[in-house]
Amino acid sequence: MSFLKVALNNLRRNPVRSMLTGLSLAVSAATLTVVLSLDKGYSSAVTDDLVHKTGVHLYITKEGCPIEAASVIAQGGLSPLYVDENIVERLQAIPELDAVMPFKLFAVTTDDGSRTDIFMGVTDAIRDMKPDWRFESGGWFTSDDSVILGAEMARIEYLSVGDRMYTEHFDRELVVSGILGRNYSQDDGTFFLPLATAQAMVGREGKLSAVALKLKDISNMDAVQNRLRAMMPGDYFVIGSKELSDGILQFFGATRAIMFVMVVVAFIISVFGIINTMLMAVLERRREIAYLKCVGAGKYDLIRLISLETAAIAVAGSLFGALVGMMMSPVSGNLLRKFLIAYVPSGAISRPDMGIALTAFAVCTLIGVACSLYPAFRAAKIVPMEVLRNE
């Protein structure tokens, strides 16, 4: 005979109620696991995309707040702000820079509104910027009408090298000169055009969305950034790729806040559910508890007994919830991808791991056990004489 055995047996009195209470905690644990996986995953995916995979260390764009700059570049929208192409030569003269890549970025939503295609006008400097770029087939632009397709775009559009691609929005026919190998970055979903062609398509000849810079030595980042700020016109903005990703993550802050509010709501529901259930369990057993006090059960014995009952529910519910959350996380990542406004990174945006599952399990178990304290103290305060006399 042990306290645990008595506690577990008590849960069998009303198995449906015990199960439902456990499930309410499971929902909290699953929600917490999913949200933590998304939070970690999205931050990692954005940082991977914009800091690790682009090869870009600095961007020069028209002055604005970093968030605005991030938005313009990341969304590929046609910004009213632009950088003059004539700064490129001045930048190329800076010895600390390994590559200078001017680009024009714009986005076009398909007529049925189901998809937004990202077009990027580039020069061959992109090959210095991304030395690991590989063509799966074909190669570099062969004419002004050439287009290089990211791997995913080629798959979606069923296009091969030499095929013609008509863009209804611009009433222009392009010829596929190359298809990139998949590199699990934003590149997979991009149409690459010759810079001049891209500028002409949106009527912004000589204008750039931004200039991307790669440093020879990244430890010089601050010095180069300061030097660029000094030499650029006052209305230009020099932004690091880390600042860019941070800016995007600030956009994500609102989504993140909503997700955490969901977690809090799930917890509040669970907390009231558990307290209510355990309180009912205590009130239903008042006479039994009174008898236990008659035969020597002390205050702490009863607190221990009720807490163990709750702990058993909490452990089972939290464990189940954390496992379900781990399984649901990839699905929720794909769902969230459809609703993201700020920036949709190419990699997985939900990254569940054992640490997250254990955190969710521990937090939910602790909350569950904490919820038992009030009912447990109510049980401990039962006066046997009053209960046995009046009931």
Partner 1 sequence: MNNGHVIKLENVSKNYRRGSETVHAVQDVSLSVKQGEYVAVVGHSGSGKTTLMNIMGCLDRPSEGRVTVNGREIQDETEAGLTRLRGTSIGFVFQQFFLIPTLDVLENVSLPSLFTRRKLNGHARELLEMVGLGNRLHHLPGQLSGGEMQRVAIARSLINSPPILLADEPTGNLDSRNAETIMSIFEQLNQSGVSIVVVTHNPDIVNRCSRTVHIEDGKIKI
At 67 the three-state DSSP class reads helix
Separation CA 262–CA 367 (nearest Å): 16
Piece of 52-60, 62-70, 208-216, 285-293 that binds partner 1 (CB under 8 A): 285-293
Number of residues that bind partner 1 (CB under 8 A): 25
- Least separation in angstroms between CB 378 and partner 1: 16
Piece of 9-17, 101-109, 187-195, 215-223 that binds partner 1 (CB under 8 A): 9-17
Separation CA 98–CA 221 (nearest Å): 12
- Least separation in angstroms between CB 354 and partner 1: 35
In the region spanning residues 180 to 219, those forming contacts with partner 1, defined by CB under 8 A, are none
Q: Is 280 in the site for partner 1 (CB under 8 A)?
A: no
> For the chain, what is the total number of helices (H) and then of strands (E)?
14, 12
- Least separation in angstroms between CB 285 and partner 1: 9
Are the C-beta atoms of 380 and 303 separated by less than 8 Å? yes
Q: Which of 36, 198, 297, 311: binder of partner 1 (CB under 8 A)?
A: 297
Q: Is 2 in the site for partner 1 (CB under 8 A)?
A: yes
The CA–CA distances, whole Å, from 318 to 67, 221, 330 equal 38, 46, 19
Radius of gyration for the alpha carbons in the chain, expressed in angstroms and rounded: 30
Separation CA 357–CA 27 (nearest Å): 13
In the region spanning residues 112 to 151, those forming contacts with partner 1, defined by CB under 8 A, are none
Q: Is 10 in the site for partner 1 (CB under 8 A)?
A: yes
Are the C-beta atoms of 213 and 100 separated by less than 8 Å? yes
The residue (of 51 and 302) whose beta carbon lies closer to partner 1 is: 302
- Per the document, the length of the chain is 391
Q: Is 295 in the site for partner 1 (CB under 8 A)?
A: yes
Beta strands per DSSP E along 261-378 = none
Separation CA 42–CA 60 (nearest Å): 25
At 29 the three-state DSSP class reads helix
- Least separation in angstroms between CB 290 and partner 1: 8
Q: Which of 183, 301, 337, 377: binder of partner 1 (CB under 8 A)?
A: 301
Piece of 6-14, 231-239, 241-249, 264-272 that binds partner 1 (CB under 8 A): 6-14
Q: Which residues bind partner 1 (CB under 8 A)?
A: 1-3, 5-6, 9-10, 12-13, 287-288, 291-299, 301, 384-385, 388-389
